[in-house]
Chain A
């Protein structure tokens, strides 16, 4: 029996394994430093999954949680902002998010749209209209009062955005939900 004592360069081993995994998949890539891989084009989700599994077998893991957590925090901050819109003096969305989350708005926008397939601005509109619907159905507030509460410049502005987001007027929406509650 021959006994050998080994020593290794962990980073070199890691880079070699990583490059082998990347070459084994058909995905075109670019390495940015030693902890970021940029996948070129638009690889299929299944291809990405296979690639991630291959990495996992080699003990290399894709860090996803921090970004997912940031997206969740962005959504929560948006909800909080909408709920307290009345108390905030005409807040700018980008300033509000940057102050609360400590990231640049450009970075937040990029991460958000990459993972949710939706822009932050569109998400805010969806969330505001969702809240407007709730108030319309559950509170005694008039549409004018709702528009004020949600920081719209006028009731007309809210109505217009409501129609664009749902495809119908607030009154038509209200009537449908009332009828639905009696039907289902």
Chain B
């Protein structure tokens, strides 16, 4: 089945980063809608809510300062409703060990957040296109790992 568009959820608390996402996503023809959350637990509440909305892709900011980041990530990954949802972790500077850990704890994609808008838009679009193939074709989501 060809869906033709993607539903995104972005967990981000910084205003300028939100704007960056909004601008890049507005330029993409692949996306149908996007919703922001301040924290991952808000996302989980939303998914558990009566409307039962499930995003196709979750963009989750990796904040090394957040003590339980990996635990939170694992909680998101283990949600039954999100078994076919792809998780993209992004950060502008994380250690190699932490990046590896995000994959171990269930991330599908790690995006090294570019510093310029053009590059950011380009990388996001590339990620959306690859994720779209995984969502639309008979490819193994469980083993889908991609590092930009």
Residues of A within 8 A of B (CB): 42, 45, 68, 71, 75, 79, 115-118, 123, 126-127, 130, 133-134, 137, 165-168, 172-173, 176-177, 179-180, 183-184
Contact = CB atoms under 8 A, between A and B. Distances in A.
A177 B143 contact: yes
A126 B126 CA distance: 13
B148 interface: yes
B139 A68 contact: no
A133 B138 CA distance: 14
Contacts of B29: 42, 45, 117
B117 interface: no
A180 B140 CA distance: 15
Interface residues on B, range: 20 to 34
Interface of B: 1-2, 4-5, 29-30, 32, 74, 77-78, 100, 103-106, 110, 129-130, 132-133, 136-140, 143, 145-148
Q: Is the interface of A mostly helix, strand, loop or mixed?
A: helix
B2 A166 contact: no
Given A116-B133, A167-B110, A167-B147, 13 more contacts: A42-B29, A115-B2, A116-B132, A117-B29, A123-B137, A126-B130, A165-B146, A166-B145, A167-B146, A167-B148, A179-B104, A180-B105, A184-B105
